[in-house]
Amino acid sequence: MRKLIYLPQPLPNFIGLYIYMKKIVVAISGASGSIYAKNLLEKLLAAKDQLSDLSVVMTENAKQVWETELADKSYATLPVKFYSTTDFMAPFASGSGQYDTMIIIPCSMGTLGRIATGVSNDLITRAADVILKERRKLICVVRETPYSLIHIRNMETVTLAGGIICPATPSFYSRPASIEEVASTVVDRVLDLAGIDISTFRWGK
C-alpha cells in the first residue's frame, strides 16, 4: 500500500512524495526473551502510521515463557491480529500476501533450524520460507548462548538464503538505566533493520 503525502510549501520541484506503508509479521517463538517481543510490538504500535498491516503469530510455548518471564498475559491485550501456528490461511502464508518483513523475536534455535532446512511444519516456518523465497526481509533475533556448531551452520544457511541474523545482544554505550532500556538497544536495531523510522540513540550524536 502506498500513501500519498504532500510536502509543505515552498518546495518548488515537488508535487508529492510517496511513502511506502509496510506490512510486517512478527513471530514469537518459545525462546527466552519475551521482553524483546513485548518491547518490539509496543514500538511498532507506536509507529503504526508507517504500517499498513501488523500481524502476530505466537507459539503456545511462547505464551508460557511470556507468563513466566513477565508475570502477566499482556500479549492478550495488545491491539494486533494474532494467528494460530496452525492457521495456514493467514495472508502471510503465501507470497501473494505481499508482506515486506518478518521478524522472529525471540527466535529459538529449533525454529532457526527448521527454517534453515526448509521444514515448514507450522505457520512461523512457512511464513519464513515465503519471505525468503520472495526475496523479502527476514530478521531472526536469535536468543541462545553459547552457540553450537549446528547453530552456527544454521545461521550461515539462513544468511546465505537472504535472512538477517540479529542476535539479542544488548549494547551499553547509550547507558541504559533499566531492563526495558537494555532490551530497547536490541529492539531499536531490529526496527532500523526493518526500515521503521524511530527516534533512538545514534552513535556520534
Dihedral sign (CA 199, 99, 102, 57): positive
φ and ψ of 42, to 5 deg: -65, -40
- Rounded Cα–Cα distance for residues 128 and 163 (Å): 9
**Among candidate residues 72, 90, 94, the one with its CA nearest the CA of residue 81:** 90
- Rounded Cα–Cα distance for residues 175 and 131 (Å): 35
φ and ψ of 157, to 5 deg: -60, -45
Segments in 47-148 forming alpha helices (H) = 60-70, 109-116, 123-133
Q: What pLDDT is recorded for position 18?
A: 53
Tell me the pTM: 0.90
**List of the chain residues with pLDDT < 50:** 1-2, 4-9, 11-12, 14-17
CATH number listed for the domain at residues 23-194? 3.40.50.1950
> Edge-to-edge strands of the sheet including 137-142?
81-83, 51-58, 22-28, 101-107, 137-142, 164-165
* SS3 category, 131: helix
pLDDT tens digits for 136-184?
999 999 999 999 999 999 999 999 999 999 999 999 999 999 999 999 9
- Rounded Cα–Cα distance for residues 26 and 57 (Å): 6
φ and ψ of 164, to 5 deg: -115, 125
Domain ranges for the chain, please list them: 23-194
